[in-house]
């Protein structure tokens, strides 16, 4: 532990439109998978906190759901609210964009965070997908022409772990002198239950891709941990009977695959053998129902 007076500790919100790589960056920076990732937009649904600690600095990241331009469902509105809430809590805002294109939604989000007096860093991600790196200079010039105003611009690849040193230096420079908030071994504020549900949802996204109904949610009904084995009963909620059949697959094939993959991941997470049973149930219009969202833990007040 460094001396109190040498400690620096900062809160950083990670914001951006869906699918730009916010959760990938969080996991890369804290070197542990605390936030799930998928090819599909709208993977993250609530704010997830990740903590990185070295000998002098503690950096607390808040991963947020992808920003929704026009939230329609109650769930979408809550997701945007998590972003507003996160921005208020932090010392610095990290906005992530995709190096391949700066879209109108990026501009709208940048304009919305410009109202905050906090320092703002634009992290331009996925540079590994650009063959012509000279485009990066043009990218920033284009932003300047649009009047976008960030305190720093950094290009990285979160997935390939490229150019992260310069990012770390910038993050350290925005950490105020403050005692560490979390213990040196803490990686996230999220409970084991939450991480188990998220891990199952990640497998759903992995196997079903675009076929996965957006209105899907995972709840742990029972979790018993003994010395040698963890027993988990989980329920996947969907909104219609037809969606239930998609997830079960022919003769229950798909749910079997999902369970196996989830079990493998959970054994790593929990560090012991896992026995898991997953049911699929219908709960009509949960994604648009305040009370049900509260019950499912997706509403923060
Ligand atoms: N090639 C490449 N792919 C990346 C990079 N970073 C993330 N990805 C991929 O982009 C996809 C989306 O990543 P996520 O981390 O889930 O994105 P997100 O911004 O958290 O998405 P939402 O939670 O839906 O808002 C995944 O398929 C990642 O593997 C990168 O640096 N390079
Ligand atoms: Mg995410």
pLDDT one-digit tens code per residue, 86-106: 788 899 999 999 999 999 999
Q: Is 22 in the pocket of ligand 1 (CB under 6 A)?
A: yes
- Both tokens of residue 87? 């921005």
Cβ–Cβ < 8 Å for 54, 95: no
Q: Is 86 in the pocket of ligand 1 (CB under 6 A)?
A: no
What atom of ligand 1 comes closest to residue 19's alpha carbon? 21
**pLDDT tier, 6 (very low <50, low <70, confident <90, very high otherwise):** confident
How far is 199 from 194, CA to CA, in rounded Å? 9
Q: How large is the average pLDDT for residues 40-45?
A: 82
Cβ–Cβ < 8 Å for 232, 267: no
- Both tokens of residue 253? 């094939």
Cβ–Cβ < 8 Å for 117, 151: no
**pLDDT tier, 301 (very low <50, low <70, confident <90, very high otherwise):** very low
Ion ligand 2, residues whose Cβ is below 5 A away? 22-23, 43-44
**pLDDT tier, 41 (very low <50, low <70, confident <90, very high otherwise):** confident
Nearest bound ligand to CA 128? Answer: 1
Give the CA dihedral 267, 207, 95, 169, nearest 10 degrees: 40
User: Residue 291 pLDDT more than 80?
Assistant: no
The whole-number pLDDT of residue 101 equals 94
Nearest CA to ligand 1 atom 11: 39
pLDDT one-digit tens code per residue, 143-186: 989 888 899 999 999 999 999 999 999 999 999 999 999 999 99
Q: Is 159 in the pocket of ligand 1 (CB under 6 A)?
A: yes
User: Residue 240 pLDDT more than 90?
Assistant: no
Pocket test for ligand 1, best of 21, 26, 47, 64 (most atoms within 8 A of CB): 21
**pLDDT tier, 286 (very low <50, low <70, confident <90, very high otherwise):** low
Element (DSSP H or E) covering residue 74: helix 74-89
Q: Provide the whole-model pTM.
A: 0.87
The CA R_g of the chain, rounded to the nearest whole Å, is 20
Q: Is 173 in the pocket of ligand 1 (CB under 6 A)?
A: no
Q: Is 129 in the pocket of ligand 1 (CB under 6 A)?
A: yes
Give which of 240, 205, 236, 226 is closest to 275, Cα–Cα.
226
Q: Whose structure tokens read 């079903």?
A: 208
How far is 287 from 75, CA to CA, in rounded Å? 6
How far is 62 from 82, CA to CA, in rounded Å? 10
What sign has the CA pseudo-torsion 295, 13, 149, 107?
A: negative
In the chain, domain spans: 4-173, 192-295
- What is the third-level CATH fold of 4-173? Rossmann fold (3.40.50)
Q: Higher pLDDT residue, 295 or 261?
A: 261
Q: Is 23 in the pocket of ligand 1 (CB under 6 A)?
A: yes
User: Residue 220 pLDDT more than 60?
Assistant: yes
* CB-count exposure of residue 196 (10 Å: 0-12, 13-18, 19+): buried
User: Residue 290 pLDDT more than 80?
Assistant: no
Nearest CA to ligand 1 atom 10: 21
Of the options 3.40.50.1970, 3.30.300.20, 3.30.70.120, 1.10.1740.110, the CATH number for the domain spanning 192-295: 3.30.300.20
Q: What is the percent of the chain with per-residue pLDDT over 90, rounded to a whole number?
A: 60
Give which of 82, 114, 76 is closest to 95, Cα–Cα.
114
Q: Higher pLDDT residue, 29 or 85?
A: 29
What atom of ligand 1 comes closest to residue 41's alpha carbon? 24
- Buried/exposed code over 105-128 (b: 16+ C-beta within 10 A; e: otherwise): bbeebbeebeeeebbbbbbbbbbe
Q: Is 201 in the pocket of ligand 1 (CB under 6 A)?
A: no
The whole-number pLDDT of residue 229 equals 96
Altogether, the residues listed in the chain come to a count of 301
């Amino acid at each position: 532990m460094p001396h109190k007076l040498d400690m620096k500790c900062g809160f950083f919100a990670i914001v951006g439109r869906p699918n730009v790589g916010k959760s990938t960056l969080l996991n890369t920076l804290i070197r542990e998978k605390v936030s799930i990732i998928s090819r599909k937009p709208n993977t993250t649904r609530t704010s997830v906190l990740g903590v990185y600690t070295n000998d002098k600095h503690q950096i607390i990241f808040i991963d947020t759901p992808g920003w929704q331009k026009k939230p329609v469902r109650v769930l979408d509105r809550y997701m945007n609210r998590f972003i507003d809430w996160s921005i208020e809590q932090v010392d610095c805002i990290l906005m992530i964009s995709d190096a391949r294109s700066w879209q109108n939604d990026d501009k709208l989000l940048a304009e919305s965070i410009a109202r905050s007096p906090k320092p703002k860093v634009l992290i331009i991600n996925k540079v590994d997908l650009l063959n012509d790196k000279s485009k990066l200079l043009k990218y920033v010039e284009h932003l300047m022409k649009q009047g976008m105003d960030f305190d720093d611009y950094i290009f990285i690849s979160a997935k390939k772990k490229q150019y992260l040193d310069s990012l770390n230096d910038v993050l350290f420079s925005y950490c105020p002198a403050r005692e560490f908030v979390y213990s040196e071994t803490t990686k996230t504020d999220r409970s084991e239950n939450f991480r188990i549900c998220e891990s199952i949802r990640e497998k759903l996204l992995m196997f079903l891709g675009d076929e996965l109904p957006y209105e899907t949610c995972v709840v742990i009904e029972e979790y018993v941990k003994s010395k040698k084995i963890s027993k988990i009963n989980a329920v996947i909620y969907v909104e219609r009977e037809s969606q239930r059949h998609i997830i079960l697959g022919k003769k229950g094939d798909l749910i079997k695959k999902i369970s196996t993959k989830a079990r493998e991941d959970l054994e790593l997470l929990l560090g012991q053998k896992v026995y898991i049973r997953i049911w699929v149930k219908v709960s009509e219009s949960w994604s648009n129902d305040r009370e049900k969202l509260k019950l499912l833990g997706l509403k923060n007040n």
